Amino acid sequence: MKSLTITYDDGVARNRSLREHIATQVYAGAGVTAIAGRLDMAPSKLSEKLAGCDSGGKPRGLSIDDLERYIAETKDVTPIHYLIERYLISPEAQHAEALAQFAKLAALMEPLAKSLGAKWP
């Protein structure tokens, strides 16, 4: 069994779905036309896949092959980070991380409280 340590920006899983996350990345990054060209896809087709349906409401989705090609062509691995944050971080690990962050904040508060003349435990 292998173990891997991954560092990524917190909050990657703020989108409701992986498709929405990729859409956010595309629209905030190079744009639909540029990304569609890299994926050898018409911009309108990519827009439909990112929206989840065509203009008539017929379902359209990103395939696993589309996802792999997107990651390979754009070098954007945040979809993988999204899945890790969404599905692999246990509630216990989230709790432990929150406690660690709280402890760091508490340590920063002590000198501030003293400089304000406030009593700090």
Is a pLDDT exceeding 90 seen at residue 59?
yes
Is a pLDDT exceeding 90 seen at residue 67?
yes
Claim to verify: residue 80 and residue 94 sit in the same structural domain: no
Claim to verify: residue 120 and residue 98 sit in the same structural domain: yes
Confidence category of residue 120, pLDDT binned at 50, 70, 90? confident
Quote the domain boundaries for residue 97. 90-121
Confidence category of residue 8, pLDDT binned at 50, 70, 90? confident
At residue 75, the pLDDT reads 97
- Whole-angstrom distance, CA of residue 76 vs CA of residue 96: 28
In a domain? residue 49 = yes
In a domain? residue 5 = no
Claim to verify: residue 50 and residue 62 sit in the same structural domain: yes
Q: Which helix (H) or strand (E) holds 74?
A: helix 64-74
Q: How many domains does the chain have?
A: 2
Claim to verify: residue 50 and residue 97 sit in the same structural domain: no
Claim to verify: residue 99 and residue 79 sit in the same structural domain: no
DSSP state of 110: H
Claim to verify: residue 29 and residue 66 sit in the same structural domain: yes
In a domain? residue 18 = yes
Claim to verify: residue 104 and residue 77 sit in the same structural domain: no
Claim to verify: residue 80 and residue 98 sit in the same structural domain: no
In a domain? residue 115 = yes
In a domain? residue 2 = no
For the packed helices 18-28 and 64-74, what is the interaxial angle rounded to 10 degrees?
30
At residue 41, the pLDDT reads 96
Claim to verify: residue 78 and residue 95 sit in the same structural domain: no
Is a pLDDT exceeding 90 seen at residue 7?
no
Measured in degrees and rounded to the nearest 5, phi and psi for residue 53 equal: -160, 165
